[in-house]
């Protein structure tokens, strides 16, 4: 894709707020004609800048309102250990995000479950059974005054 300009950035900002906005409304919000707006959105999609659209879910209504971030240190720093750990995280529905990070640990997880009891079960029965895991540090989310994830 050619270099993005301020109109593309405005389109992305508006779609980030409401991915279901109609093209007509989006065009009005960003100051373009509907046809020009649609061409830009299609180009953003075609070039991979827009990878998809998602629904914003109420995790509490889905009985997954307990969120924790977990810093995970691996016991060994091998490709095999990383691959095995990542495979286990892919298979765990409680893990909503898994990031390989720099610093004192190798991974940062975002875990969503129903409650503390479910979190303990995940912590013990999933993470606690992985030979690759050396250390776990949990950060329990009390409140999220700003959360723009889809």
Three-class secondary structure of residue 19 per DSSP: coil
Q: Supply the pTM of this predicted model.
A: 0.78
Among the listed residues 30, 29, 19, 82, the one whose alpha carbon sits nearest the alpha carbon of residue 56: 19
Give the pLDDT score at 56: 82
Number of CB atoms found within 10 A of residue 17's CB: 10
DSSP assignments along 64-117, one per residue: --EEEEEEEEESS--HHHHHHHHHHHHT-TTEEEEEE-SSSSSEEEEEEESSHH
Give the pLDDT score at 150: 61
Topology of domain 66-140 in CATH is: Alpha-Beta Plaits (3.30.70)
Q: What are phi and psi of 68, to 5 degrees?
A: -135, 145
Q: Going residue by residue through the chain, which has 150 residues, state the pLDDT in tens, using 9 for 90 and above.
A: 668 999 999 999 999 989 999 999 999 999 999 999 999 999 999 999 999 998 888 877 887 789 999 999 999 999 999 999 999 999 999 999 999 999 999 999 999 999 999 999 999 999 999 999 999 999 999 998 998 776
Choosing among 3.50.50.60, 1.10.220.110, 1.10.10.10, 1.20.140.10, the CATH entry for 6-46 is: 1.10.10.10
Among the listed residues 141, 84, 148, the one whose alpha carbon sits nearest the alpha carbon of residue 110: 141
| Domain definitions of the chain by residue range | 6-46, 66-140
The encoded tokens of residue 143 equal: 């409140």
Among the listed residues 25, 18, 85, the one whose alpha carbon sits nearest the alpha carbon of residue 53: 18
């Amino acid at each position: 894709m050619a270099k993005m300009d301020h109109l593309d950035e405005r389109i992305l900002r508006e779609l980030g707020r409401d991915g279901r906005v109609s093209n007509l409304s989006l065009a009005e919000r960003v100051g373009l004609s509907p046809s020009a707006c649609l061409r830009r959105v299609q180009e953003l999609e075609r070039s991979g800048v827009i990878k998809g659209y998602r629904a914003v879910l109420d995790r509490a209504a889905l009985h997954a309102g307990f969120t924790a971030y977990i810093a995970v240190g691996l016991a060994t720093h091998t490709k095999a250990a990383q691959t095995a750990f990542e495979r286990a995280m892919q298979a765990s529905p409680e893990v909503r995000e898994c990031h390989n990070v720099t610093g004192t640990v190798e991974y940062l997880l975002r875990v969503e479950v129903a409650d503390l009891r479910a979190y303990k079960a995940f912590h013990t029965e999933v993470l606690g059974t992985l030979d690759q895991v050396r250390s776990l540090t949990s950060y329990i989310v009390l409140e999220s005054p700003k959360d723009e994830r889809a």
